[in-house]
Amino acid sequence: MTHLSSMKSLVLAILALVFALNHVDALVFQRAPNVSPLLSKLDALIESTSSNPNDPNTQEEIKAMMVNISESRQGDQRKKLPGQWELIFTTEKEVNFFKTSWPFASVSDIVQDLDLYNSQSIDNSINFETGGKFAVTGTAKAIDGDSEFDRVGFEFKSAAITAWDKTFQIPPVGAGWFDTMYCDDCYRLSQDVRGDWSVFRRR
């Protein structure tokens, strides 16, 4: 009887464990849904409004989607940051001026090369269709912050403008930080020290 009672208890314990694991899986799924449809929708919205990135209504819609997507993040988002990224959306007025109002040449792309863990470097460049560019280079590293997101500190050490086959050195533009709201193999969502929001696509 004791042996049968022990077997019964063991079976009940296993069944309870299976139920608990299934319950945990369901909870995890609710907290971390598949964000691919949201990211595709975000990309399409950005593409459809690229000619008017400063529209406040569009910016608020994109920011709301970014917050929604950020709720699916798991672990330290900075681990996937290293690589080359193309900026596809930002609320930063200076960058949007180059994209929409710069009178001398059209912007072909805006690119960031980021390496937190080896060279600890950051390189930003606004590239123009004429072959010119505005570039800044500096250092970047993971830092602790008071935000719920994962923070990166940076300091630009040099800056240069290339135009008419000549390069002109200009003073670097300072230091700051940005928080990574979400990052995967394709997309990266960020907020920065100035309160600007940005979306990048991996190259």
pLDDT in tens, 68-127: 999 999 999 999 999 999 999 999 999 999 888 888 889 999 999 999 999 999 999 999
* Reported confidence tier of residue 41, pLDDT bands at 50, 70, 90: very high
Strand (E) or helix (H) holding 184: none
Domain ranges of the chain: 1-31, 35-202
Diameter of the chain measured on Cα atoms: 94
- Least Cα distance to 85 among 69, 109, 121 occurs for 109
pLDDT at 87: 98
In this structure, what are the phi and psi dihedrals at residue 125, rounded to the nearest 5 degrees? -145, 135
Cβ count within 10 A of residue 123: 17
Query: What pTM was estimated for this model as a whole?
Result: 0.81
CATH of domain 35-202: 2.40.128.280
Q: What is the DSSP string of 116-148?
A: SSSS-EEEEEEEETTS-EEEEEEEEEEE--SSS
pLDDT at 18 over 70: no
